[in-house]
Amino acid sequence: GQNIDQPTEMTATEGAIVQINCTYQTSGFNGLFWYQQHAGEAPTFLSYNVLDGLEEKGRFSSFLSRSKGYSYLLLKELQMKDSASYLCAVVDSNYQLIWGAGTKLIIKP
């Protein structure tokens, strides 16, 4: 079966750095997305990785290792508005998105 694993919940302090991990086992791989979702709102796109390595975009970076079936989202200089759920999703061989359950990130002052 297809499986995406990420922690259910994480807590971090404002101004700090947090890393949210995602591991996957899917039938084929055509890229991995990270989305941010605030409560009661639809997901918004953060990043897309299809090749190994680190992609940096402002305070957010995303890393992928295809051989390990592993990705992480790194958030720097955390702000209170970063409190949200972060969803990892993998594009499988049929170009369908397989979603993780999401990681709820709580930022404390």
Partner 1 sequence: GAVVSQHPSWVICKSGTSVKIECRSLDFQATTMFWYRQFPKQSLMLMATSNEGSKATYEQGVEKDKFLINHASLTLSTLTVTSAHPEDSSFYICSARGAGDYNEQFFGPGTRLTVL
Positions that interact with partner 1 (CB under 8 A): 30-31, 33, 40-45, 48, 87, 91, 95-97, 99-102
CB nearer to partner 1: pick between 48 and 76: 48
CB nearer to partner 1: pick between 7 and 31: 31
Beta carbons of 6 and 103 less than 8 angstroms apart: yes
Cβ 49 to partner 1 shortest distance, Å? 12
Close Cβ partners of 32 (under 8 Å, ≥ 6 residues apart): 22, 24, 48, 49, 50, 62, 64, 71, 88, 89, 90, 91
Cβ 15 to partner 1 shortest distance, Å? 27
CB nearer to partner 1: pick between 53 and 109: 53
CB nearer to partner 1: pick between 31 and 76: 31
Nearest to 100 by CA among 58, 66, 78, 71: 71
SS3 of 32, please? strand
Cβ 77 to partner 1 shortest distance, Å? 26
